[in-house]
Amino acid sequence: MAKKSSKNTAAQAVEIAEKPVEVKPEPAAEIRVAPKKKILFVASEAAPFIATGGLAEVIGSLSKAIARSDDYDVRVIIPLYQDIRKEYRKDFRYIGNLYVPLAWRNQYCGIFEYRADRVTYYFVDNEYYFKRSGCYGYYDDGERFAFFCRSVMEILGFIGFYPDVLHCHDWQAALAAIYLKTIYCHRPEYQFIRAVFTIHNIEYQGQYSLDILGDLFGLSEHDRHFVEYDHCINLMKGAIEVCEAFSTVSPSYAQEIKDPFYAHGLDPIIRRNEFKLTGILNGIDPDYYDPATDPALFANYSAEDPENKRICKEELQKMLGLPVKPDTPIIAMISRLVGHKGLDLVRAVIEDALREDIQFIVLGTGDSAYEAFFIDLARKYQGKVVSVISFNADLSRKIYSGADIFLMPSKSEPCGLSQMISSRYGAVALVRETGGLKDSITPYGAGGNGFTFNRYNAHDMLYVIGEAIGVYHMKDEWARLVKKAMETDFSWSVSAKYYEGLYLSVLK
């Protein structure tokens, strides 16, 4: 039997529209607004309050990006370190205190709150653990972050905020997920909280002697199997085991950590839990890193109007005591001076590169052997090489804006933010194809936004440095490449959606 056609013709549509529309007020009870999804970020640092590296920037900018959506209530919790910036601290609001059980201890825990950009931040106060300079590097870091994680669990009850997703970052927050799934999951309010764990760097896993399982971490023998690995307690491993999903900060790194070359011993655990692993590329905050408005720069410029970048270069050369040479490419590195940043490649061939007419600037601190190497290099090549052994945010922005080529030859790089910042400031990135470097920088030869090399080999890097210098001297071509780098979208707009997808997948 033929069905009656229900096609709407244009004429029908007009007829329908012209009928008076009957407006029936809906009873209030029937208007339903979907509840916001509650996300709690647990981390050991967050910009702008305290930052020792990329983790803090990601916590600061990702939380803001997700909170922009009306569907999410995003909160962040970190320790109240002594070094939290004063200009923020004075506006923190004290909301109460409680005592937190940690094995046989019972420790004071004050809670402070601060709101900005639709995100609520909580700060965990305990002077015994956190009134020290810096964030890490103390003999009792295990105990300090165990206290922090146990406090997070207790604070949820105290403030009556039970998140849908507890999103823990790196080993310092791993115990929050572990406590949730061992000690707290039996309590009705905690029962439906899902745990997501993000690895920002697999090198730091939180490894401790098994002797302190109960005495310090307050875990029972029954739960030992979650955290035990390689005859130690391994907190990162524990979080991977208990969480509903885990992620890394770039898709390539998610693949790489299945391989022993990158995994620092955790590859069997990663492979076994691969079914719940995703890689999501970090973004940067494009307003915070904007050469058009950045007050740290000698002059402001943009992709549309890059002229003033010349001033930034000239002033940088003057400031660092380099000859002012507008047509000599400046190659810069801003990096922690540690092994996995690829510094042995630089050490092997930088003197070959310095035969060319270039200037080379290094900014960073780290292993004393690398610091000494760069200090010696600057002494030997005065007027060509400048090494600034310090952590200096203001100078870093002046270098991003004044440099032409930004070198980042990492042996491994979970994501890396500097290559994105440098691109945005028109310092074309030259990177090794690993982790997030591979996912954010594509080779010039293939129409991309930078220069890349694949093998961890000093002469491969040297060859590409030569290529970059060659392109630099083709004025129009270089200007096009700089524009392309500056226009690449490194904002959170895409990646924040992937995180939302990840949250929805664990909430199903």
Q: Which is nearer to ligand GLC, 279 or 436 (CB)?
A: 436
Contacts 24+ apart (CB under 8 A), 377-385: 377/350, 377/351, 381/354, 383/321, 383/322, 383/323, 384/322, 384/354, 384/358, 384/359, 384/360, 385/354, 385/359, 385/360, 385/361
CB 18 → ligand GLC: shortest distance, Å? 58
Q: Which is nearer to ligand GLC, 60 or 443 (CB)?
A: 60
> What residue ranges bind ligand GLC (CB under 6 A)?
53-55, 58, 200-201, 249, 282, 413-417, 436
CA distances to 45, 61, 125, 455, 492 from 81, in Å: 9, 20, 8, 41, 28
Question: How far apart (Å, rounded) are the C-alpha atoms in residues 45 and 184?
Answer: 24
CB 99 → ligand GLC: shortest distance, Å? 33
CB 103 → ligand GLC: shortest distance, Å? 30
Q: Which is nearer to ligand GLC, 92 or 253 (CB)?
A: 253
CB 62 → ligand GLC: shortest distance, Å? 9
Strand partners, 169: 198
Structure tokens at 326: 């507008």
CB 494 → ligand GLC: shortest distance, Å? 16
Structure tokens at 205: 């896993």
Strand partners, 386: 361
| CA neighbor of 200 nearest in space, from 234, 167, 151 | 167
Q: Which is nearer to ligand GLC, 200 or 484 (CB)?
A: 200
- 3-state SS assignment for residue 231: coil
Amino acid letter for position 197: F
Q: Is the peptide bond before 286 cis (omega within 30 degrees of 0)?
A: no
Which are the contacts of 240, defined by CB distance < 8 A and separation ≥ 6? 197, 246, 266, 269, 270, 273
Q: Which is nearer to ligand GLC, 309 or 438 (CB)?
A: 438
Element (H, E) at 331: strand 330-334
CB 202 → ligand GLC: shortest distance, Å? 9
CB 417 → ligand GLC: shortest distance, Å? 5
Q: Which is nearer to ligand GLC, 262 or 301 (CB)?
A: 262
Q: Which is nearer to ligand GLC, 55 or 156 (CB)?
A: 55
Taking CB atoms, the residue at the shortest distance from ligand GLC is 54
